[in-house]
Structure 1
């Protein structure tokens, strides 16, 4: 047997030639076998078998030994400089926690629709992840597959990914009476934090945007608020750091989230009462020290508990603001830009809720036409 050949004589006297026929999805090698009465016969048969594989376009030599986990890391590194830090953390977590443990050992050319479907079902029913979370993970898988396909021109399988249907949840919105009650509580003995929460209720800004907001971003001359940054607590990807997370103040979540919001005279008057001497002070504290989103959420829980408001989170304020705007006849395009959405569809589908009061008002209008 020549060096490097997988041809040997068996105990029964025959010659056996072994060759790599393919790979299982787990990455395990699948061997093919050829037999002959002589070494020459076995070698001729295995040579023909290998040639048949080549004509059938098997897994090509280039990158054939790399499993899907390798392409996951390649995809991540190729886009790392384009991703925001928060996006890097999100993608890295998805890769390490979900995609690589379940799909990382597969060879890309062995992947199929059934495999992706099984992966999605495991996330939904074994890990019990929300459909929205599973969809986010599958979107990353789709992007990696598109990246990988470029390495195998003409041979990579066309895979269809079915995203789980998201059930539309009815978001909690404060009724007019609840909003009045909550506003009165915030106005009573108002400090910087209560003021910030009330400002969010009057403008619909996000929790991270409020935490990063400084007084220099508020113009009482023009009665506007400029949203140009957001605050997040992110996983620290630096292995040398003892702390697992860190506070990051960066640009908002999208280009449309960077915006200038006109404020009402009521909101402007409140700003004049609270305006500190230092423009660099954070709105939520009135000092150079910030309040992070997690702390604000704790404060919000205490405020709503005192007011007897159930199921109210900080994002409820944003939904409530959008609903009140619709109730007074706000033009949807303007509302979409104030909320920082990419288009009006997002505003209508996710943030506009028709309250019972508005439904009743509209039904009463029918009386004017005798219905």
Structure 2
């Protein structure tokens, strides 16, 4: 079995491959060399020999980063300039709340894959962190270590991958009955925010995207809307500010999130009747006033309660859109592009949650074909009683 931090894995062809760093490329990423063997033990022996014969040559500047706390501070100083503000605030919060209290006093020379693995595993087992939260901490640690390695403060350290927990809770998909209830309520209580929620039901838009949507993003001549911005509330890190948080409007996180979505005809008719300036926000009808995400989420929560539906998060609308689309035979590539995902695999594994009724119907339809005898279709046992 591979050990934590060995950077050895089994290939599809049955061989074991070990990887070791060789040199920096022009884009400051690392070029790796590989060794191959029939067994893990042999691969580890070859890997140790390769690391000795091909040392990664650089001069470490340990004077600035004696402790991990010092390295984190240097990384955050650099990240403030290179990351989006929302991403920087997220990484900084992870460092301040979780990473530094546990690892800040550790000397950089004492950092090992086992120590990092134990830190992440402890967060999951002792503090009941979800796989997503542990994955976020691992990503932040990886960014810090890559920064330290690239700037020659520390040696190369491979962060082990944790096995995903067996317990998995899928985001709730809004039932068809509750969808009907809340949409009837939204139609009866017509308004810009109600229209915005119905637009999310019909297109799978994110909460931050609908809040940042402006009239100029809606192209009535083409019958489409353009996703070019997103809105969120983040921690205000300005020392001179007396606010704890602030609202920011930025470009979407990835290129795939910047997309153009067709507008269903029913909603297109309603959008055509709107009279507002091009730079006005859709949810308020005004250019200087927006409806921030937490207010929009609160409005959705009140609509659920007033309509008699169960409670759901706003993001459940997006999961519901994806799940219903697949159930109706939607092309998965088109669905992935509409949602703004990088791959179909991510859409199907994270956003599609078929119900037991849908699984039963699919198997019943298949059994009607596969189990028929003499041209007669087979129904369920209850149907043949």
Q: Which residue of 2 aligns with 1:287?
A: 286
Comparing 242-251 with 317-326, which one deviates more in the overlay? Answer: 317-326
Aligned-residue CA RMSD in angstroms?
A: 2.3
Q: Could you state the TM-score of these two structures normalised by the residue count of structure 1? A: 0.78
**Structure 1 gaps, min length 5:** 1-58
Quote the residue 1:45 is aligned against.
Answer: none
Alignment correspondent of 1:46: none
Matches within 5 A, 1:1-371: 62-63=62-63, 66-150=66-150, 156=155, 158-163=157-162, 165-166=164-165, 167-273=167-273, 275-288=274-287, 289-366=289-366, 367-368=368-369, 370-371=377-378
Return 141-150 or 259-268, whichever deviates more: 141-150
Instruction: Work out the CA distance in 2 between the residues paired with 1:111 and 1:360.
Output: 51
- Do the aligned residues in 1 keep the contact of 2:192 with 2:284 (CA within 8 Å)? yes
Question: What per-residue deviation string (whole Å, max 9, x for no partner) do you get for residues 4-44 of structure 1?
Answer: xxxxxxxxxxxxxxxxxxxxxxxxxxxxxxxxxxxxxxxxx
Residue 176 (structure 1) shift: 2.4
Contact 2:64-2:70 at 8 Å conserved across structures:
no
Q: How far, CA to CA, are the matches of 2:298 and 2:240 in structure 1?
A: 30
Deviations 1:77-102 (A, max 9, x none): 23332211100101111111111221
Identify unmatched segments of 5+ residues in structure 2: 1-58, 379-385
After the TM superposition, which of the residue ranges 262-271 and 63-72 deviates more from structure 2?
A: 63-72
Question: In 1, Cα distance between the equivalents of 2:328 and 2:292?
Answer: 33
State the distance in 2 between where 1:245 and 1:201 align: 29
* Change in CA separation of 1:86 and 1:158 when aligned onto 2, cut-off 3 Å: closer
Q: Are the equivalent residues in 2 in contact too, given 1:109–1:157 (CA < 8 A)?
A: no
User: How far 1:231 moved relative to its partner?
Assistant: 0.5
Work out which of the two has the higher radius of gyration on C-alpha atoms and give 1 or 2. Answer: 1
Aligned residues: 311
Confirm or deny: 8 A CA contact 2:178 2:310 kept in the other structure. Answer: no
Please list the CA deviations of residues 252-281 of structure 1 after superposition, one character each: whole Å capped at 9, or x if unmatched: 1211111000121122123224x1232222
Q: What CA distance in whole angstroms lies between the structure 1 residues aligned with 2:363 and 2:155?
A: 57
CA contact (8 A) 1:138 1:163 kept: no
**Contact preservation (8 Å) 1:66, 1:107:** yes
TM-fit CA distance, 1:164: 5.0
Runs of 4+ in structure 1 off by over 6 angstroms are none
CA 1:325–1:242 in structure 2 vs 1: closer, same or farther (change >3 Å)?
A: same
Q: Report the alpha carbon displacement of residue 160 of structure 1 after superposing the two structures with TM.
A: 4.1
